[in-house]
């Protein structure tokens, strides 16, 4: 009788908490956002990464081998950008990325989701003569599970 009670106590005080922790960390590892109680959609991830890259007031531009900073002409919205550039963005397109790889601990704690968001971003800016210029660059971003850009 005492053996059954001991086994039951071990199960209740050790087995159930370990099971709950493993479920929690497994969901974190898979990219689940506990604050929203769901996974972020691909559209949400693309919008977050776009807004993160579109926020800068000035941007570095390589002109004849020299880096100069110009005033960035921001896009009004992601919808405006995607209308002009329908094939600009992808998630996990493959290939080597220039960003760091996430560690196991970052993944299980939700600090780094597994997806890499790649945006071929057309930067609009005014040069020193006030002429509107455009150059294309590639942004690679990762997000935390609930969408905070890295």
Phi first, then psi, for residue 62 (nearest 5°) are: -85, 110
- Residue ranges of alpha helices (H) inside 55-116 are 78-84, 104-108
Q: Give CA separation, 36 vs 19, 24, 65, 90, in Å.
A: 22, 14, 45, 23
* pLDDT per residue as tens, the chain (150 positions): 778 888 888 888 888 899 999 999 999 999 999 999 999 999 999 999 999 999 988 878 777 888 888 888 999 999 999 999 999 999 987 767 777 677 888 888 888 888 899 999 998 988 888 889 888 888 899 999 999 987
Q: What is the pTM of this model?
A: 0.82
In this predicted structure, what is the pLDDT of residue 26? 92
Task: Specify whether the CB–CB gap between 72 and 125 falls below 8 A.
Answer: yes
Calpha distance 118→97 (Å, rounded): 9
Other Cβ atoms closer than 10 A to 81: 21
């Amino acid at each position: 009788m005492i053996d059954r009670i001991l086994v039951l106590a071990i199960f209740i005080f050790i087995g159930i908490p370990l099971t709950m922790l493993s479920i929690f960390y497994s969901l974190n590892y898979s990219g689940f956002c506990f604050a929203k109680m769901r996974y972020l959609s691909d559209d949400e991830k693309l919008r977050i990464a776009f807004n993160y890259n579109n926020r800068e007031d000035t941007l570095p531009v390589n002109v004849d081998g020299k880096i100069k900073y110009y005033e960035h002409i921001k896009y009004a919205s992601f919808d405006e950008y995607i209308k002009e550039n329908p094939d600009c963005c992808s998630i996990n397109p493959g290939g080597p990325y220039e960003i760091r790889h996430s560690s196991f601990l970052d993944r299980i704690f939700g600090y780094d989701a597994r997806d890499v968001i790649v945006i071929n971003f057309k930067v609009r800016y005014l040069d020193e003569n006030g002429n509107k210029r455009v150059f294309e660059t590639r942004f690679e971003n990762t997000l935390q599970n609930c969408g905070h850009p890295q």
